[in-house]
Amino acid sequence: MLDAKFVRENLDTVRSALEARRCDWDVAAFIRLDEERRELIQKVETRQARRNEASKQIGGLMKEGRSAEAEQLKDEVRLINEEIAASDAHLAQVDEDVQLLLMTIPNIPDATAPVGVDECENVEIRRWGTPPTFDFEPVPHWDLGPQLGAIDFERGVKLAKSRFVVLGKDGARLNRALINFMLDTHAGRGYTEWSLPALANAETLTGTGQLPKFEEDLFKTGEGLYLIPTAEVQLTNLHREEMLEADDLPLHYCAYTPCFREEAGAAGRDTRGMIRVHQFDKVELVKLTTPETSTEALEGMVTDAEYILQQLGLAYRTVALCTGDMGFSAAKTYDIEVWLPSYDNYKEISSCSNCTDFQARRASIKYRSPGEFKGSRFVHTLNGSGLAVGRTLVAVLENYQRADGSVVVPDVLRPYMGGQEVIVG
């Protein structure tokens, strides 16, 4: 979330950021509540001053034996106390309303983020690899997977509902191989691995920005817990309400988790196959850094995610998201898009974002800062997919398929599959 003081003192900047993000956040409501808050504070301070003055007068009158006048002032003090109590209660409600309003404003875009309306105005940064060419008609994964016995869409519907998937035989084995390969690779590049709950409480999801604004996209249990939409939620909140030491930063974390998304606002998009499903596996990367190093840390995170695709030999491109396409908590985001023959195009497989201090302020994650910034400061948080496992599995099946319907296992995955070189039906 943004700091109320920052919003108050930089209304033009906030309005420009909201316009760039195509967001209709109620600036007028914030101004109204902020003015009401200041009036209440001034009223309370004025009444407190009068109470203090009257209390002193009461003591003097009592010493002089003027008890009747003292009693009148005591009545005034009692009335002032009632007024202050009512104003304090009103102020508490206004403060709560301000906080709730601030919880719904998106992050301020970084100055280097491209300004644009939607994904059509994202900016391509680079490409790696060459999409494969086939001397046969490539089969999309929604047909190839069932032919191999690797993906079963019908049983996913039978066991749960539409947009749930069952992986079988070499599909399940390939999925597990990808997870282990990703985790081992990131651990070798300096990330500490965690094993995390798949359920999170409301405070945790509020800390990273999923609540309260995006509750409709979450699966909720009867006990008030939520199935996590990404391990970013848990990894970032490991240090919620903690004071870290500057020497401990940066922290580089990774985790594999299943992820769950209702995606109420995504009806009709990529519903065929495994591109957009309600449950999927993902290896997540999270960094906690100082403000001075978060820009460089984002570039490093993108490099780490790209490295997975390079090792798998999958062609991809990296794009900088424009302001109208960025996520709620992000100040700057790069998407990595892998080549999928079924789409004859690139599709997102990783999204890496610098959230600056937006999440840290919500989750109260600070560090003791030495030097010129003595005192405590909010950390900067970053997150990225390293990678979405299901989409990577799809990319392997489609890009490594052969005319006879078999699929070649990429070299780096063979040790994780007992030396298996080919997937056959």
Residue 252, both tokens: 């580089």
Q: Are 326 and 337 in contact (CB under 8 A)?
A: no
Is 391 a known active-site residue? Answer: yes
Closest of 276, 287, 284 to residue 179, by C-alpha: 284
Verify whether residue 272 is a known catalytic residue. Answer: no
Query: Do residues 285 and 304 touch, judged by C-beta distance below 8 A?
Result: yes
Catalytic residue among 294, 329, 351, 385: 351
Write down the residue that tokens 């089969």 correspond to: 139
Concerning whether 364 is annotated as a catalytic residue, the answer is no
**DSSP helix/strand/coil, 297:** helix
- Per DSSP, the three-state class of 333 is strand
Residues with Cβ within 8 Å of residue 85, at least 6 apart in sequence: none
Would you call 254 exposed, middle or buried from its count of C-beta atoms within 10 A (0-12, 13-18, 19+)? buried
Tell me, yes or no, if 348 is annotated catalytic. Answer: yes
Catalytically annotated residue among 36, 189, 348, 414: 348
Distance CA 40, CA 90 (A): 8
Of 284, 385, 391, 398, the active-site residue reads 391
DSSP secondary structure, 189-227, as one string: TTPEEE---SEE-HHHHHHHT-TTTTGGGS-B-TTS-EE
CB-count exposure of residue 72 (10 Å: 0-12, 13-18, 19+): middle
Q: Spot the catalytic one: 37, 276, 361, 362.
A: 276
Q: Which helix (H) or strand (E) holds 174?
A: helix 170-188
Catalytic residue among 51, 163, 261, 361: 261
Is 276 an annotated catalytic residue? yes
Residue 19 corresponds to which amino acid? E
Residues catalogued as catalytic = 261, 276, 348, 351, 391
